[in-house]
């Protein structure tokens, strides 16, 4: 690699006349599109790129330098971010493909250009697949976004030019590039607000992947062009006269949707192109700006609806509520001449620039539209968050979350104060809570949606106003993982679950240490693992966890160590598991407490002589789906299948799981504990006891209530006969004014 080159210090490097003309065109585009232009820096970058690629050819046979020049032109004309982006585009292939080093780029153009070129070099080989192995590639791409947004903007231009010149590549490579463009780069360009680039990426990719269908759409559009143009004129004429008469400065034109959008709509609706009613769109771009521009958009909307009948269900106000990429416009669909539906878009020049060039236009109009950067910042915050909280062991989920944030439709949710937040479709109050603040998510116990209580699993709709109710005693529930969709919520919940497990393991380790000390025994780490394996644990960590959560008694570990030290051996012919079960059954009978318990069918047979215990972690009652776990000292423990400890038991110790069904037995009552949360008002406890004792004729064994900051939380222990009885109690409690949530309590 060369650290320096004499060409950079000589302005008379010989450049062919045709490329001098290309350079002049590039500089003209920069002067027209960019806020400021360092022409000397661009000329030096052009000459370095020209010299570096002087002997290189593309697959088509043309000079390689045409590619970085074309990429720089797209950056200047279609993106228009800044002159540093243009310089970086001219140099983006030099470090990878030529003898020039990154150090040379840094010496000549500074750290910013060098870092962008380095970022582009690192993601050059990034490809996209929905397979597990591509998670690291996606992370590289995201890292480039978080480091400098210009890296991904130049990558869009690079991908677009490669698609424009893709014919020279083998067909198989064309298909791969087009597929990953539709899967990754086009949606990502949309997320950055680069609608013009996104549309061209989609159309070229469709042409490669489905050439016949692409040609069919193009042919239909060409065949109807004369008729369509005539209809647009008839629609525009009266509207144009009204707008001119009212003194508006504007540009108005009709347009068709891009080919890919039409094709996708035909596929999703299973219709022919003639049956797609919203092929036509009229765009009105007003020359007014600022507050007056917004007011003029609404005035023009009023004029349009005076002339043509609007369809209210097709109205969208993206001016008051912009999309997360900053897009602003009024959209309405009206019935034009002959009753045909026509979409009309109304926006200012500033809004139009942002609609076409997204984040780059934000940069150009930064002083005027800085408040619109929030959506993009929210997206970049998500990128940074997923990088700072990686889950390498969850690579499939990582890719899934990345795709979710790119592809899913957005919904717009309001806080009680009226602030707007953007979330992916299917988001829940828990996702919203974590979006507002991590601590709110960690402690949420309930939610009000549009003033009414809603389940935490409720799928929010655009326009919902959400209020989160919190309690300092609340911690994330593992069940939340079943319905939350945002990365922030999932990563924080997962971290909380792992932290609880870590604490249980530490508690279990300390408990076992104390038991061994009292027994005068010493067991080193290696033997800890051996004894754990002998006790059918996969490893010592799982054993510590079960000791810490009460699933396993440390005394049994002490017994096993003592038994091994005395040299006891199992009887010949009996397996260790059979002998262990026989001894456990004897212990079951010695400590049997089966009074007032219904008989259970275990592995299909009715048993009344086997001790069963009902796990305190989930408190099962008749009607619950349950399974049995053969414990080491307390008989068969009955767990609900949705118990938080069930996955660990079912996966790690399947040989100790037995099938359990409830048998029918009348007049048997079970203790069940309910967790109740709500507003701390006068008479709330009286209302609760009245509903349970008097209205439902249910015996209350105990009730405890704590209140703080106007919110109370209580535990109620009552006697129920089965699950349906318990459900009646829960549903009736929920109707009490001020109650926010009623849940079965788990220790």
Q: What whole-number distance in Å separates Cα of residue 395 and Cα of residue 392?
A: 5
Is 96 assigned a catalytic role? yes
Of the chain, the end-to-end C-alpha distance in Å amounts to: 65
Q: What whole-number distance in Å separates Cα of residue 595 and Cα of residue 258?
A: 74
Indicate which residue of 96, 99, 499, 737 is catalytic: 96
Q: What whole-number distance in Å separates Cα of residue 199 and Cα of residue 209?
A: 15
Token pair 């000459």 is at which residue? 47
- The DSSP bridge pattern shows strands 612-614 and 636-640 to be parallel
- Cβ atoms of 739 and 678 closer than 8 Å: yes
What are the φ and ψ backbone dihedral angles of 667, each rounded to 5 degrees? 60, 35
Q: What whole-number distance in Å separates Cα of residue 727 and Cα of residue 623?
A: 11
Element (H, E) at 281: strand 280-286
Kindly compute the dihedral angle of the four CA atoms of residues 527, 532, 534, 538, in this order, to the nearest 10 degrees.
-120
Beta-carbon neighbour count of residue 231 at 10 Å?
A: 18
Sign for the pseudo-dihedral over CA of 396, 397, 403, 409: positive
Sign for the pseudo-dihedral over CA of 71, 74, 75, 77: positive
DSSP per-residue codes, 672-730? EEEEEEEE--TTHHHHHHIIIIIIS---EEEEEEEEETTEEEEEEEEEESSHHHHHHHH
Partnered with residue 281 across adjacent β-strands are: 255, 343
Indicate which residue of 25, 38, 97, 687 is catalytic: 97
Beta-carbon neighbour count of residue 737 at 10 Å?
A: 10
C-alpha 681, offset from chain centre: 39
Q: Which distant-in-sequence residues (6+ apart) come within 8 Å of 291 by Cβ?
A: none
Q: What whole-number distance in Å separates Cα of residue 218 and Cα of residue 222?
A: 6
DSSP per-residue codes, 342-398? EEEEEEEHHHHHHHHHHHHHHHHTHHHHGGGGHHHHHHHHHHHHHHHS--GGGHHHH
C-alpha 114, offset from chain centre: 32
Rounded to the nearest 10 degrees, the angle between the axes of helix 83-91 and helix 17-33 is 150
What are the φ and ψ backbone dihedral angles of 249, each rounded to 5 degrees? -95, 125
Is 97 assigned a catalytic role? yes
- DSSP designation for 735: T
Q: What whole-number distance in Å separates Cα of residue 23 and Cα of residue 19?
A: 6
Write out the catalytic residue numbers.
96-97
């Amino acid at each position: 690699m060369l650290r320096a080159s004499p060409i950079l210090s000589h302005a008379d490097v010989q450049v062919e006349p045709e490329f001098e003309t290309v350079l002049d065109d590039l500089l003209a585009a920069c002067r027209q599109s960019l806020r400021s232009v360092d022409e000397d820096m661009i000329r030096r970058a052009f000459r370095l790129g020209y010299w570096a690629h002087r002997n290189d050819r593309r697959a088509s046979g043309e000079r390689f330098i045409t590619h970085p020049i074309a990429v720089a032109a797209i950056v200047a004309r279609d993106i228009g971010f800044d002159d540093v982006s243009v310089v970086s585009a001219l140099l983006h292939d030099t470090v990878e493909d030529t003898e020039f080093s990154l150090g040379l780029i840094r010496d000549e153009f500074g750290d910013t250009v060098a870092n962008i070129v380095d970022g582009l070099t690192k993601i050059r080989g990034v490809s996209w697949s929905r397979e597990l192995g591509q998670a690291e590639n996606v992370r590289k791409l995201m890292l480039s976004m978080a480091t400098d947004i210009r890296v991904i903007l130049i990558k869009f231009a690079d991908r677009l030019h490669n698609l424009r010149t893709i014919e020279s590549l083998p067909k198989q490579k064309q298909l791969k590039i087009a597929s990953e463009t539709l899967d990754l780069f086009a949606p990502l360009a949309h997320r950055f607000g680069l609608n013009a680039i996104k549309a061209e990426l989609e159309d070229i990719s469709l042409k490669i992947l489905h050439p016949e269908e692409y040609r069919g759409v193009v042919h239909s559009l060409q065949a109807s062009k004369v008729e369509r143009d005539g209809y647009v004129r008839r629609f525009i004429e009266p509207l144009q006269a009204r707008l001119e008469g009212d003194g508006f400065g504007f540009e108005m034109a009709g347009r068709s949707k891009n080919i890919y959008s039409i094709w996708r709509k035909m596929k999703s609706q299973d219709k022919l192109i003639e049956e797609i009613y919203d092929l036509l769109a009229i765009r009105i771009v007003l020359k007014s700006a600022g507050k007056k521009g917004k007011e003029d958009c609404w005035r023009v909307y009023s004029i349009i609806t005076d002339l043509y009948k609007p369809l209210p269900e097709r109205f969208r106000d993206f001016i008051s509520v912009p999309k997360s990429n900053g897009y602003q416009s009024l959209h309405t669909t009206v019935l034009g001449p002959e009753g045909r539906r026509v979409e009309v878009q109304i926006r200012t020049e500033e809004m139009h620039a942002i609609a076409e060039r997204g984040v780059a236009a934000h940069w150009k109009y930064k002083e005027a539209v800085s408040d619109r950067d929030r959506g993009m910042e929210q997206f970049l915050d998500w990128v940074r968050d997923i990088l700072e909280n990686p889950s390498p062991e969850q690579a499939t989920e990582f890719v899934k979350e990345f795709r979710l944030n790119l592809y899913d439709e957005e919904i717009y949710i309001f806080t009680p104060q009226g602030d707007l937040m953007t979330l992916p479709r299917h988001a829940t109050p828990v996702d919203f809570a974590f979006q507002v603040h991590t601590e709110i998510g960690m402690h949420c116990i309930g939610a009000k949606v549009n003033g009414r209580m809603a389940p935490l699993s409720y799928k929010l709709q655009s326009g919902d106003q959400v209020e989160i109710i919190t309690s300092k005693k609340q911690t994330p529930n593992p069940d939340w993982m079943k319905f939350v969709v945002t990365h922030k919520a999932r990563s924080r919940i997962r971290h909380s679950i792992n932290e609880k497990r870590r604490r249980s393991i530490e508690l279990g380790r300390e408990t076992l240490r104390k038991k061994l000390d009292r027994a005068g025994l010493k067991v080193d780490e290696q033997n800890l693992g051996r004894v754990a394996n002998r006790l059918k644990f996969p490893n010592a960590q799982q054993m510590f966890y079960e000791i810490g959560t009460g699933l396993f008694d440390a005394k049994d570990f002490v017994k096993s160590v003592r038994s091994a030290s005395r040299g006891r051996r199992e009887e010949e012919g009996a397996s260790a598991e059979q002998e262990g079960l026989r001894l456990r059954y004897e212990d079951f009978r010695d400590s049997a407490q089966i009074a007032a318990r219904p008989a259970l069918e275990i592995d299909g047979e009715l048993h009344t002589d086997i001790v069963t215990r009902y796990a305190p972690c989930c408190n099962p009652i008749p009607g619950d789906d349950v399974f049995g776990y053969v414990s080491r000292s307390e008989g068969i423990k009955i767990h609900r299948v949705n118990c938080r400890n069930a996955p660990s038991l079912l996966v790690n110790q399947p040989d100790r799981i037995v099938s359990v069904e409830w048998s029918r037995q009348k007049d048997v009552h079970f203790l069940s504990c309910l967790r109740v949360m709500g507003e701390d008002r006068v008479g709330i406890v009286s209302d609760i006891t009245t509903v349970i004792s008097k209205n439902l004729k249910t015996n209350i064994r105990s009730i405890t209530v704590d209140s703080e900051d106007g919110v109370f939380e209580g535990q109620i222990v009552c006697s129920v006969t089965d699950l349906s009885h318990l459900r009646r109690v829960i549903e009736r409690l929920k109707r009490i004014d001020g109650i926010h949530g009623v849940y079965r309590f788990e220790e």
